[in-house]
A = this chain, B = another copy of it.
Amino acid sequence: MSRKPEVNAARLLASVADFAAIGATPAGGVNRQALGIEDRAARRLLAERALARGFTVFQDNIANLFIRREGRDASLPPILIGSHLDSQPTGGRFDGALGTLSAFEVLEALSDAGIETDRAVEVVAFTNEEGSRYSPGCMGSMAFAGAGTMADWEPIHATDGPQLADELAATLAALPEAALRPTGHAISAFVELHIEQGPILEQEDVPIGVVTAVQGTKWLEVVFSGVAAHAGTTPLEFRKDPMGAAAAAIASLQSAVMPADPEARLTVGRITAEPGSINVIPGSVTFTVDIRHPDAAILAAMDQHVRKECEAAGARWDCDVSVSQRVNMAPGRFSPTITGAIEGACKALGLKSRQMVSGAFHDALFINRVAPTAMIFVPCRNGISHNEAEFVTDAHMISGARVLLNVVEALG
């Protein structure tokens, strides 16, 4: 005998708090980077809660974690909901975790109400969405969608040393209760709930964003090479200083690209100088450039602009320059069927919503290539994320989970 399923608000909020304690930072954020000890602890906690509720737990060979609640017809491809559990080194409590835990709350709410869905419903926590320790990000969803191959990634070393193949094996071994399944099984749909990571919903006081598309992203690595020499004795005319070239290139890109196009994003998040001595002109300077745009053609033009500016700076400072592409994620347009279901859920629940384009890439961008997909955004304070100050109100968390539950009922 079944009744109308309802999100258990207290349980959802407690669950978010429980996971925020894993890798908690003094400033109130989390450091739970992919495949590290804290990431494994979070996976274990979720798996144990799943087994306690009688759900089945699976892993695939990139350590994507799946929690399955059976439906009437096991032959139908399941509905997939969820996000990721890994975080940035100084990340927030909600990026990834909120979507994963809201999805798990949906499974529990269905069970509490004794609902039997036609299709099975599966919760997923994709591996290494952030890409902060092991680049590129979204490895789990790329592998699931056949957009990347393990062979390319296994040799990668983390910024703090370990090799991906080793930590992947250790992560899989740490969850023996989970049966191994092939990567990329058939699914009927994917819905990912996530914080907006931008300021729009909060500013317009809209609780739900219906994400119709994700902007494209390219990660470039720029290396300027000059000649390391003594800081005190080398006159200007003898210098080949890659720091001069790097600073000129970054300054010119920073002052030109974003002011010219409000939809464009350009960020230099990482920079190093070698050998890195105070009194040595660097022999080389390496930095990353993250560029994004919803329009694939404009993104390609931005890529060319970055290369031209770097070559010009290298020539001015008599340094060699190399620009290599680390990540190239094309913009994506989501399924009108799924966005329609999200808008229907908002109407049914009397929640205001607005369509929007995601400024961040997400696992949903890749899953969108193999199944009808869309995303639900909830507001975050001041649009701040990838930061320990990241914050979402209880009311917005609860509204988001209610919409996700309603969508699953509609699609199930």
Residues of A within 8 A of B (CB): 88-90, 130-132, 135, 137, 159, 196-199, 215, 217, 219, 227-236, 238, 241, 243-244, 246-248, 250-252, 254-255, 258-259, 262, 265, 267-283, 285, 288, 290, 292, 326, 358-361, 382-387
Q: In whole Å, how far is A32's beta carbon from the nearest beta carbon of chain B?
A: 13
Report chain B residues within 8 Å CB of A259: 236
Distance of A137 Cα from B275 Cα, bound (Å): 16
> Given known contacts A131-B278, A199-B235, A278-B290, what 15 new A-B pairs fall within 8 Å (CB)?
A132-B275, A197-B230, A199-B238, A217-B232, A219-B279, A231-B292, A234-B265, A235-B262, A235-B265, A236-B259, A246-B247, A267-B280, A269-B276, A270-B276, A281-B386
Known contacts: A234-B198, A385-B230. The answer to whether A269 contacts B281 by CB under 8 A is: yes
Distance of A273 Cα from B272 Cα, bound (Å): 8
A247, B250: Cβ atoms under 8 Å?
Answer: yes
Report chain B residues within 8 Å CB of A382: 238
Known contacts: A243-B268, A258-B236. The answer to whether A231 contacts B277 by CB under 8 A is: no
A280, B386: Cβ atoms under 8 Å?
Answer: yes
Task: Determine chain A's interface SS by DSSP, over half rule.
Answer: loop
Q: Which 5 A-B pairs have the closest CB atoms?
A: A233-B359, A231-B267, A198-B233, A247-B250, A232-B360
Known contacts: A198-B233, A383-B234. The answer to whether A269 contacts B278 by CB under 8 A is: yes
Report chain B residues within 8 Å CB of A248: 251, 254-255
Distance of A111 Cα from B277 Cα, bound (Å): 40
B273, A271: Cβ atoms under 8 Å?
Answer: yes
Report chain B residues within 8 Å CB of A231: 265, 267, 269, 290, 292, 386
Distance of A197 Cα from B360 Cα, bound (Å): 49
B283, A387: Cβ atoms under 8 Å?
Answer: yes
B326, A278: Cβ atoms under 8 Å?
Answer: yes
B361, A232: Cβ atoms under 8 Å?
Answer: yes
Distance of A281 Cα from B289 Cα, bound (Å): 11
Report chain B residues within 8 Å CB of A89: 275-277
Distance of A130 Cα from B217 Cα, bound (Å): 43
- When C-beta atoms are compared, the residue in chain B nearest to A326 turns out to be B278
Known contacts: A197-B232, A199-B238, A387-B229. The answer to whether A270 contacts B262 by CB under 8 A is: no
A277, B269: Cβ atoms under 8 Å?
Answer: yes
Distance of A326 Cα from B236 Cα, bound (Å): 24
B196, A233: Cβ atoms under 8 Å?
Answer: yes
B219, A277: Cβ atoms under 8 Å?
Answer: no
A271, B271: Cβ atoms under 8 Å?
Answer: yes
- List 22 A-B residue pairs with CB atoms under 8 Å apart, sorted by A's residue number: A88-B280, A131-B279, A159-B276, A197-B232, A229-B386, A229-B387, A230-B360, A230-B385, A231-B269, A232-B265, A232-B290, A232-B361, A234-B265, A235-B262, A236-B262, A243-B268, A247-B247, A269-B273, A269-B277, A270-B277, A277-B386, A283-B387
Report chain B residues within 8 Å CB of A215: 232
